[in-house]
Structure 1
């Protein structure tokens, strides 16, 4: 008898077991084609952002460290946009760092998790190592996405409030499910893998203090844990049957004072019938999603401001619960010292949008961080809770500009671009991909990669991986 099935019948009804049964029984045809189509678009987006990340110093330094860990034996798994090849877990970590490294990857708004970053690194690297077919990758990715999103939804923003990076936590569980599915594990073993990663899940938000690189590391580390847990479970290692609920489960231990707000039932609510992955929002701006509505408003106001020097003051309205992350402490947010700190600075993002009428990767270049006009406007910007927010369904935001002549200009955006009815379609996601991939590949290679990714479920994973590797 399988070890995880021993004991009380309560384990049978535990959310981990119900998730495991969903994942173990899921097949390609059970996923509606519109959901599969959305999954391809989100995979395209994640891989494009991963390619672009190679233009930044953190990518080379992270891969150098992982190459050193691999030693002389090396490995045979692809690192997105690079010539290096690594063992499967090191490749998954590297790819996680790349996909999430620019904070330009998708977000499920209500769950506040970067779901693709929490699933794709594991699916790509383990799928390549196993010589799996792309159909199997897509199924495993879809199963993991549903898990990552539901854990975030059940926590109701509590991970962030308690000082944890939600994606860093959920990626352990979603990757355990992804890996278990790719390995063809039984429901009992996939349940065990979730139990095992309950002892590895973490990720502190302390990076917010100084723009450190650790947030980039979190989802890839979850992939490492998920692959490890699935392999251990495959060989009979026993994990706790109730990793999510109860006195010592995930929500009680990680949500702390917010544990009572969690809704554990959301872990399995609609599982297999309502596909939440299709609700994820692809980012149009490479900054924290919490400020996207306000960024939309600021860009709209840009054309109405005849002379940027005439801006006397700026009032930014963002969801109240997000203020500690993107607006506090105010003095530090007004002068971000790194590109990563700038991504989490509402004053910097909004000042830039007002002055330049855009916010792309170039707006995070060193010269942009030192732009005296932007920094001067940051100093005249204050952030407040948005009384008309649709958060957490959408990351609404508004901007009010006071001009030197006393006039006030206002814009408010309820549904941020990239979300809901404003979601990026395949054409828009392809344009974003080609721009991002162009930072690593020439135009012809970027287009070939785009075509390979959008056909990911019609070819072996190794073929897609080859289209992503540097030559």
Structure 2
């Protein structure tokens, strides 16, 4: 087959995917890969994911399901690992692009392990795919907003409306695709979207996380079919993507002119807390309001709280359900997350167990949280994700705090030691059922740090029981 690009932006994508990755971008790529892998190991123990990982009727293959001793076909490993990567709501993301890395890393990992790819090649493939996907996502988010005005359920779950392209591109690169095969893999995936008709984050059904898994599976399959000679639709590149030109203020094609010059991956964020990032600005504002601010220098007594008023951007106010019944629902409840911090002094994986969700003290405080849309925070979104919090105490005291953006992003990164401890907890959570001790967890941490320097199979071996 001969490569024929129908649009200049498609030609720019192809040229970029064949170009080198500079050292600074590679380091950001390494950080993204390590973050997603840590999240996937923790998510391998999550409800729903663990059952599929252990009991799914998958054929044996050359790709690992993280956190288990199973090796299955790459598309099935990609599906399960991508679902695991988002299950704990602790994976990385990008302010203007959503959760970019989960499908890219989970899908690419399956192909890279099967093809015995070295770490640097894998990280570079993920980095290139990340850049392309951030640019695609900006347009797809704009499309999603317009389409949902007409059909409210359409393109509901943003984890899965773009992420066929990322794992397809990463997998094709890791499978040594020719330029023609890579272009066809891109075209095939660019005309696919795994669309959930509803995103049950408030219900918290475990199947919710598999929408992202199915998307990664489709992406890996797109790469495999392209390598088998399947051609993608050139007409789709025109008919589907040309309308995007009108959706973005600076146009669509212009997004790709900066590939290799402006690295979007440098602005990725990491999560200090295992909950939806829309809950993080209110939580950080709450921490500013209450940490060490009482006369005695102690945390606020939950029974002394009359009300908690949150002002933030519109999307964050969707997280207002105050009585979550499942792990996932709790992670998408700002009232529950804020109440958990006031009652427990922390928000970690243990805060979303069935026992924690049933805590009457936490539920009582959550019922006193009121989320309100604020025009200033909405105008600044998505470049800045801000919130302010006012805690009214029963004695009339008002404690206030505010944040222009949450902790963990490039403008306020997590300290290295704190981030390493977060990853240690994630790895220990996912590997707790295996033959692991503190030394072995340290070995897994070291494998994440050195993911760009070791063969992928060595890294994966360190993330198995």
TM-score normalised per structure 1: 0.87
- On the 8 A contact 2:33/2:126 being kept in 1, the answer is no
Count of residue pairs the alignment pairs up: 444
Tell me by how many angstroms 1:381 deviates.
1.6
Structure 1 pair 381/426, CA: closer, same or farther in 2 (3 Å)? closer
Shift of 1:271: 0.6
Partner of residue 58, structure 2: 69
Mapping 1:105-254, distance limit 5 Å: 105-111=91-97, 113-156=98-141, 158-159=143-144, 162=148, 163-204=155-196, 205-241=198-234, 243=236, 246=239, 248-249=240-241
Q: Root-mean-square deviation (CA), in Å?
A: 2.5
The residue that corresponds to 1:445 in the other structure is 440
Q: Distance in 2 between matches of 1:262 and 1:370?
A: 48
Name 2:78's counterpart in structure 1: 92
> In the aligned structure 2, how far is the partner of 1:211 from the partner of 1:388?
30
1:16 and 2:39 are equivalent in the alignment = no
Alpha-carbon contact 1:171-1:223 (below 8 Å) kept: yes
TM-superposed deviation, 1:280? 0.8
**Structure-2 change in CA distance of 1:228 and 1:467 (3 Å):** same
For residues 218 and 263 of structure 1, do their structure 2 counterparts lie closer, same or farther at Cα, with a shift above 3 Å needed? farther
Provide the rounded CA distance (Å) in 1 between the counterparts of 2:339 and 2:242: 39
For the Cα contact (< 8 Å) 2:58–2:73, is it kept in 1?
Answer: no
- The residue number in structure 1 matching 2:396 is 406
Offset of residue 206 of structure 1: 2.6
In the alignment, does 2:328 pair up with 1:335? no
CA displacement at 1:160 relative to structure 2:
6.4
Unaligned ranges ≥5, structure 1: 6-10, 328-332
Aligned to 2:27: 37
1:297 positional shift? 1.3
Deviation at 1:336, TM superposition (A): 0.9
Deviation at 1:406, TM superposition (A): 2.5
Structure 2 residue aligned with 1:321? 315
Aligned-partner Cα distance in 1 for 2:106–2:54: 18
Q: Helix, strand or coil: the match of 2:440?
A: helix
| 1:157 positional shift | 5.4
Q: TM-score, with normalisation over the residues of structure 2?
A: 0.88
What is the alpha-carbon distance in structure 2 between the residues aligned to residue 455 and residue 339 of structure 1? Answer: 32
Which structure: greater helix fraction? 1
Q: Is the 8 A contact 1:110 1:394 kept in 2?
A: no
2: CA distance, partners of 1:13 / 1:198: 13
Structure 2 residue ranges without an equivalent (≥5): 149-154, 295-299
CA distance in 1, matches of 2:252, 2:221: 25
Question: Aligned to 2:104, what secondary structure does the other structure show?
Answer: helix
Cα 1:202–1:311 shift into 2, 3 Å: same
Q: Pick closer, same or farther for the CA change 1:214–1:58 going to 2, 3 Å.
A: closer
Answer yes or no: is the 8 Å Cα contact 1:243–1:250 preserved in 2.
Answer: no
Change (3 A) 1:426 1:209: closer
When residues 234 and 133 of structure 1 are mapped into structure 2, their CA distance, relative to the original with a 3 A threshold, is: same
Change (3 A) 1:318 1:242: farther
**1:341-393: per-residue Cα shift (whole Å, max 9, x none)?**
11111111122223333211111111221111221122222111133323212
> Is 1:423 the equivalent of 2:410?
no
